Structure 1
């Protein structure tokens, strides 16, 4: 297993930029895995995608992978650094899966992460720091992403929280919780 880094934080906190720094400094071939899907009818979304693209070096390989993340990771070479941006978008793309299918998807993903020899940097949004979403789909998204981030975080070499313009190394500052995931 290569080095696994998780970078999490709120919107516009700089987590993607911190992940890009990690990938660039790895000295390896960088494979940027974008989980977002393009929507030509949404000019603001297209602008966000363009901003991300403009920041990346030209020699990085970009793959658009809205749902098949495990298969993509499984096919990476050991001498590369895979940057996945973002797990929140990946979760959103799979919200229509029933609970059994989702559990299988997560299990496959977590096993794959443990088997991949490449370095991996994952970007994930933090949710649930505010009110409980008023709609079932919002609660489903929040709960699925929160559980996934917790499970992945337990497997990572380093976990960073990016907020307020700072990247905090939670693995150095914090104490890891037990593996069980309760409804919190």
Structure 2
């Protein structure tokens, strides 16, 4: 996790490629993209990210049912890389605000059950000013809840700042 343009996606891809190298030369990774190309700028970002990945990566675009996508992919790939959780959360909140907390719990449960190594990318949005409107505050609060839920089931959490990684110590 990290801030915007911190280098977190690049770090996640390096992590995923390291896992694939350990699995073997024919290993394939699944890149689960949660972004939707709703405008030309986002379509360009998606194309740029896709070009950065090599042929060992298959891409699945899944903006809403991330828990289902993880369950379906488990055991079929050498690694699963999800980019990005905060975009997924924004999609879920836009679709069903009342169901977002349950979706976070469902995702954390799906992540905990994975046999396949997984790498999750997310934006840290809680270090800025308190947002002025209720919807933005709800998003920020739910993102914090999401990060805590995933960190509780993931063996490692890496914070990326200015292109540099910081491995966070395990929680209690």
Q: Find the counterpart in structure 2 of residue 112 from structure 1.
A: 110
Q: TM-score, normalised by structure 2?
A: 0.90
RMSD over aligned CA atoms reads 1.4
State the Cα distance separating 1:154 from its structure 2 match: 1.7
Q: Which string of whole-angstrom CA distances, capped at 9 and with x for unpartnered residues, describes residues 36-56 of structure 1?
A: 1112xx222122111101100
CA distance in structure 2 between the partners assigned to 1:65 and 1:114 by the alignment = 19
Unaligned runs of 5+ in 2: 21-26
1:30 and 2:29 matched:
yes
Report what 2:23 is aligned to: none
2:101 alignment partner in structure 1: 103
Structure 1, unmatched stretches of 5+, are: 1-7, 178-184
Question: What is the number of equivalent residue pairs in this alignment?
Answer: 164
After TM superposition, give the deviation of residue 129 of structure 1 in Å: 0.9
Tell me the residue number matched to 1:3.
Answer: none
Give the whole-Å Cα distance in 2 for the aligned partners of 1:133 and 1:72: 32
TM-score, scaled relative to structure 1:
0.84
Q: Does 1:15 align with 2:33?
A: no
Contact 1:34–1:66 (8 Å) recurs in 2: yes
Q: Which has the higher strand share?
A: 1
Pairwise CA distance, 1:176? 2.1
Instruction: Give distance in 1, aligned partners of 2:125 and 2:74.
Output: 32
Distance 1:154 1:109 in 2: 12
3-state SS of paired residue (2:93): coil
| Partner residue, 2:157 | 159
User: For each residue in 1:92-131, what CA deviation from the matched residue of structure 2 results, as whole angstroms up to 9, or x when unmatched?
Assistant: 00113243x2222122211111111111100010002111
